[in-house]
Amino acid sequence: MANWPDELRDVVDEIQAALGPEDKLILFREITYGFSKSRVFLVDIESGKHDYSGMAILKVTQGNMPDGMAFESRKLQQALEGSPEGFAERHLPRLVFCHKSEKFSAVFTSVVSGSLESVEPLIKLGAKQLTAALFSISKKLLDEWNPDYSWREDSTPLWDTLPAWLEKKSDRLLNGVGEGDLQIEPAYEAFSLDGEWMPNPLWFLANGGGALADYETRMAVGRLHGDLHGYNVLIRMAAPHQQVNRPGFSGGYVT
């Protein structure tokens, strides 16, 4: 059991009051501190009011976001209802409880298939673990989440896809976010991760796609996670810092 950060003491007191005086809220550890500056915690709750007992994920977002929490909750429900049988139970959390005030919003979701005591955000993995995790995630998203995908009839310039997917985030990545948070500079075609050289997507963004601009592809159409960055994928490890096991997804959802 850990102590809550001092700067969130008032927030935790308000959440506890919203849960109910007889309900328990115990902090185990902080998991991530992501791009949106949301704080994500692993907690243990016992709530008769919300009919839930056990480990949960608590996401706290500072600021008044009246629509953000409702949007995220709605997208999660759409993902749960629109997923093939069995996928949601293995990889998607369910919404347990939401609370919002003028200063913050708090969302509790269930832990996907077991404990999170040996879990790491995708962004914290080393090169070899990251490669294995990305392979596992890609396979599950394509084979398990989209067994009924279809193909667009027309071809699309390959380079049009990345800027379209990133939308406004591409400007943020090229104007300091990549260099600050990711420690990657757009001036170089590749970057080193634990001694492994990786292609640099920021370089492609800054240089019109490079060689990718010469290719076209047909796009698959199906279910898509709308915000699948390295803080929104939690990887359960068979043992801490060893073998990659089962991914769990949080964040956005689009079809």
Q: Domain map of the chain by residue range?
A: 6-110, 119-249
Supply the pLDDT for residue 13. 92
What's the mean per-residue pLDDT of the chain?
A: 77
Q: Which CATH architecture has domain 6-110?
A: 2-Layer Sandwich (3.30)
Task: Decide which of 223 and 252 is more confident.
Answer: 223
Task: Decide which of 179 and 153 is more confident.
Answer: 153
Task: Decide which of 23 and 233 is more confident.
Answer: 23
pLDDT tens, position by position, 222-249: 887 777 777 778 777 654 444 444 445 5
Q: Is pLDDT above 60 for 97?
A: yes
Spatial distance between the Cα atoms of 140 and 169, rounded to a whole number of angstroms: 25
pLDDT tens, position by position, 33-71: 555 567 888 898 898 888 888 888 888 887 765 566 667
Tokens of 240: 């801490």
HEC string of the chain?
CCCCCHHHHHHHHHHHHHHCCCCEEEEEEEEEECCCCCEEEEEEEEECCCCEEEEEEEEEEECCCCCHHHHHHHHHHHHHHHCCCCHHHHHCCCEEEEEECCCEEEEEEECCCCCCCCEEEHHHCCHHHHHHHHHHHHHHHHHHCCCCCEEEEEEEEHHHHHHHHHCCHHHHHHHHHHHHHHCCCCCCCEEEECCEEEECHHHHHHCCCHHHHHCEEEEEECCECCCCCCCCEEEEECCCCCCEEEEEECCCCEC
Confidence class for position 180, pLDDT limits 50, 70, 90 = very low
- Which range among 26-30, 80-84, 102-106, 242-246 shows the weakest confidence by mean pLDDT? 242-246
Task: Decide which of 162 and 178 is more confident.
Answer: 162
Query: Which among 178, 195, 20 is positioned nearest to 108, based on CA atoms?
Result: 20
Spatial distance between the Cα atoms of 205 and 162, rounded to a whole number of angstroms: 8
